[in-house]
Amino acid sequence: MKRTILLNPGPITLTERVRQALLREDLCHREPEFAELTLDIKKRLASVYPEATTDYEAIMLTGSGTCAVEAMLSTLIPQNGKALVVSNGVYGERIVSMVTTHGKAVEVVSSQWHEPMNLIEVEKHLEQDSGITHVIAVHHETTTGRLNDVAKLGQLCKSKNVALLLDSVSSFGAEKIEFADWNLEACAATANKCLHGVPGICFVLVKKSVFESRPSAAETLYLDLDRYHQEQLQGYSPFTQAVQIVYALQESLKEMEDLGGWMARHQQYSHLSQQIRQCLRELGISTLLDEPDYSCVLTSFNLPLGYSYEKIHDSLKKSGFIIYAGQGRLKKDIFRIANMGDIQLDDAKRLRNCLQSLFR
Ligand SMILES: *Cc1c(COP(=O)(O)O)cnc(C)c1O
């Protein structure tokens, strides 16, 4: 089989170990074997960050990352509550659209896409408006590659006693998450980014005490986390789960544990992303953000003079590498290189050679 290296921010290049897991025996999602599989995955997901293991429950859904984010917002923001969304990219804006679609009250503190979150404004909002029940932010804003300063935001939430909900879709498994210090009520993520699984399964980690303290606020039947939670305590789910993809998620979690957990993955990604940035810097290509602002997962580069995105994309694709365009208003300005998935030393070396012959 042809080996394609996906340098887009998910789905990722699978390891053979995870790919093989897709071929296991057929299984009905109402059988006890599936319940056992679900319970095992719930345990492993809640243990990716040891701090979360006892106080948070992992809830697994069939769908992409957006499904997990929407289920989290819909179920947890009370109908008479109010959301404060901190936005500096496409995914922050998507959260605003979701809360608005759900008909819940929302305030927005937005910054330019290349700017950090505006925490001074957040503080003002929290001081002026005691009706805000939830602050919502994007941990790694994949639009630009910025790792948002959620530690500072979380401190603010904690000091004001407001719950934080996090879109950690492109950071879960690779960046630090501090559950207690950030006053984190829940975070949403997916199988097919930093966890190296197959697209089709997503999940939310929810503080257990939430389910005991208030009813579900979901205005949707299918994405009501409360219902999933109740049934998944015994390992079952209200609707058909993507069985083969669940097998693959279990294998990818085992593989990650074997390789040393999220911190080892963080180190591996950091090393790789620094190599890619250095290579392009030496070829005269600048980054959109300052280098320390990036996550270890993805970097955005300014398109150099005389090169369209298509030209760079098509040339790399011929060599088996798939990069990613800018979104929205950055479409004409940047290209992005993510470094998740099964990228071997040889692949990295070959990528460097391709970039050198393209830009030299
Ligand atoms: C990938 C991503 C999502 C979800 O995208 P899907 O296409 O639904 O998987 C949400 N938030 C962030 C920050 C992402 O990077």
Mean pLDDT of 240-263: 98
Token duo for residue 230: 């109740």
DSSP three-state, residue 309: helix
- Domain residue spans of the chain: 5-10+259-359, 23-258
Token duo for residue 45: 């997901």
The pLDDT of residue 302 is 98
Task: Tell which one of 93, 138, 169 to mutate to probe ligand 1, the residue whose CB is within 8 A of the most ligand atoms.
Answer: 169
The pLDDT of residue 2 is 85
Mean pLDDT of 62-76: 98
Mean pLDDT of 194-222: 97
**Cβ < 6 A, ligand 1 pocket:** 9-10, 64-66, 69, 91, 138, 142, 167, 169-170, 190
Q: Indicate the average pLDDT of the chain.
A: 97
Query: H helices of the chain, where?
Result: 16-21, 32-47, 65-76, 90-101, 119-128, 150-160, 208-213, 225-232, 243-258, 261-282, 309-318, 345-359
- Cα(first)–Cα(last) distance of the chain, in Å? 31
Can you tell me the distance from the alpha carbon of 116 to that of 204, in angstroms, rounded to the nearest whole number?
25
Can you tell me the distance from the alpha carbon of 51 to that of 311, in angstroms, rounded to the nearest whole number?
45
Query: Considering only CA atoms, which residue is closest to atom 12 of ligand 1?
Result: 169
Rounded to 10 deg, the angle between the 243-258 and 32-47 helix axes is: 40
The pLDDT of residue 357 is 97
Mean pLDDT of 94-109: 98
Task: Using the atom order of ligand 1, give the atom closest to the CA of residue 193.
Answer: 1
Task: Using the atom order of ligand 1, give the atom closest to the CA of residue 170.
Answer: 15
Per-residue pLDDT at 263 exceeds 80: yes
Q: What is the pLDDT of residues 294-325, one digit of tens each?
A: 999 999 999 999 999 999 999 999 999 999 99
Confidence of residue 130 (pLDDT cuts 50, 70, 90): confident
Ligand 1 centroid to 287 CA: how many Å? 22
Contact yes or no for 238/228 (Cβ under 8 A): yes
Token duo for residue 187: 């975070």
| β-strand partners of 138 | 167
Task: Using the atom order of ligand 1, give the atom closest to the CA of residue 192.
Answer: 9
In total, the chain counts a number of residues equal to 360
Q: What is the pLDDT of residues 10-31, one digit of tens each?
A: 999 999 999 999 999 999 999 9
Contact yes or no for 56/46 (Cβ under 8 A): yes
Q: What is the pLDDT of residues 272-293, one digit of tens each?
A: 999 999 999 999 999 999 999 9
Can you tell me the distance from the alpha carbon of 228 to that of 217, in angstroms, rounded to the nearest whole number?
14
Q: What is the CATH number of domain 23-258?
A: 3.40.640.10
Q: What is the CATH number of domain 5-10+259-359?
A: 3.90.1150.10
Token duo for residue 297: 């997962």
Q: What is the pLDDT of residues 331-360, one digit of tens each?
A: 999 999 999 999 999 999 999 999 999 999
Query: Considering only CA atoms, which residue is closest to atom 9 of ligand 1?
Result: 65
Query: Considering only CA atoms, which residue is closest to atom 3 of ligand 1?
Result: 65
Ligand 1 centroid to 144 CA: how many Å? 13
The pLDDT of residue 129 is 76
Measured from the Cβ of residue 101, the count of other Cβ atoms closer than 10 Å reads 12
Query: Considering only CA atoms, which residue is closest to atom 6 of ligand 1?
Result: 65
Mean pLDDT of 262-270: 98
Mean pLDDT of 245-259: 98
Beta-sheet pairing, 105-110 with 82-87: parallel
Confidence of residue 202 (pLDDT cuts 50, 70, 90): very high
Task: Using the atom order of ligand 1, give the atom closest to the CA of residue 199.
Answer: 9
The pLDDT of residue 21 is 98
- Output the pTM of the full model: 0.98
The pLDDT of residue 125 is 97
Per-residue pLDDT at 179 exceeds 80: yes
Task: Tell which one of 12, 64, 300 to mutate to probe ligand 1, the residue whose CB is within 8 A of the most ligand atoms.
Answer: 64
Q: What is the dihedral of CA 30, 35, 228, 196, to 10 degrees?
A: -120
The DSSP line for 242-293 is -HHHHHHHHHHHHHHHHTTHHHHHHHHHHHHHHHHHHHHHHTTPPBSS-GGG
Mean pLDDT of 173-197: 98
Ligand 1 centroid to 3 CA: how many Å? 24
Contact yes or no for 287/310 (Cβ under 8 A): no
Question: Is the Cα dihedral 194, 248, 73, 328 positive or negative?
Answer: positive
Query: Considering only CA atoms, which residue is closest to atom 2 of ligand 1?
Result: 169
Q: What percent of the chain has pLDDT over 90?
A: 98
Task: Using the atom order of ligand 1, give the atom closest to the CA of residue 66.
Answer: 8
The residue type found at 278 is: Q
Please give, one letter per residue, the 3-state secondary structure of 204-251.
EEEEHHHHHHCCCCCCCCCCCHHHHHHHHCCCCCCCCCCHHHHHHHHH
Contact yes or no for 337/324 (Cβ under 8 A): yes
